[in-house]
């Protein structure tokens, strides 16, 4: 028997237990490599590893939703850390409940060996896992809040120092005033003006407003 497919006998019937891994990263500032490295030694089939890459505002996890539909009672799910299951305390707790209670899936959190639902299926083991989960999900949410707070403080401090944030400001080309004068005199059309300045139309008009505003000062 090869791979990570295992068999068990339940009331004289055979069923297949499959192992999966879930990875979630933000496309803005994270790379899935660290999480992939963490599960590399598990020898999971490539098709059993599900990855969601999300923007900061998007939490519609298509891969996770597809995975949860495939998971069957007795299957095993690996995640690198508990905050991969949700963005905050409530979401993490809810997904843990759905996976372990409703679907009957075992979950292993690689960063925290205590969160391995294969161990201690009795009342004490379940209580210990749920308690550790509650603490870790609370800590994960607090850390996320702290990161946001530090980012906000950093942005505020940068602005006070006069540091420009966001996309770099594209300056007008040196021939902009000359081209504008020709265009205003109808000696060239807007297409020619854009060609000579190398600007897009929206940018050209933005620079034109700034140019005219500067003249009035």
Query: In 3D, which of 103, 109, 107 has the Cα closest to residue 117?
Result: 107
Residue 122 tokens read as 């009795």
**26 counts as catalytic:** yes
Residue 172 tokens read as 């007008």
Question: In the chain, where does DSSP find H-type helix?
Answer: 33-39, 62-70, 89-97, 123-160, 176-184, 190-197, 201-216
Residue carrying the six token digits 């075992």 = 106
Q: Please say whether the beta carbons of 96 and 116 come within 8 A.
A: no
Q: Is 174 exposed, middle or buried (0-12, 13-18, 19+ CB in 10 A)?
A: exposed
Residue 190's φ and ψ, nearest 5 degrees, are -65, -35
Q: Please say whether the beta carbons of 144 and 158 come within 8 A.
A: no
Which residue numbers are catalytic? Answer: 26
């Amino acid at each position: 028997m090869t791979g990570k497919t295992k068999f068990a006998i339940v009331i004289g019937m055979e069923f297949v237990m499959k192992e999966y891994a879930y990875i979630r990263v933000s496309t803005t500032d994270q790379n899935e490599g660290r999480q992939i490295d963490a599960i590399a030694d598990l020898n999971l089939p490539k098709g059993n590893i599900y990855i969601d890459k999300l923007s900061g505002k998007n939490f519609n996890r298509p891969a996770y939703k597809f995975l949860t539909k495939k998971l069957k009672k007795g299957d095993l799910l690996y995640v690198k850390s508990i905050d991969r299951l949700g963005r905050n305390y409530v979401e993490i707790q809810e997904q843990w409940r759905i996976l372990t209670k409703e679907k009957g899936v075992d979950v292993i959190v690689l960063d925290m060996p205590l969160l391995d639902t294969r161990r201690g299926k009795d009342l004490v083991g379940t209580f210990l896992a749920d308690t550790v989960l509650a603490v870790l999900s609370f800590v994960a949410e607090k850390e996320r809040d702290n990161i946001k707070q530090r980012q906000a403080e950093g942005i505020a401090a940068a602005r006070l120092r006069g540091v420009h944030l966001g996309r770099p400001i594209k300056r007008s080309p040196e021939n902009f005033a000359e081209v504008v004068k020709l265009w205003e005199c109808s000696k060239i059309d807007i297409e020619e003006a854009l060609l000579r300045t190398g600007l897009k139309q929206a940018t050209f008009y933005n620079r034109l407003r700034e140019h005219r505003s500067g003249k009035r000062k």
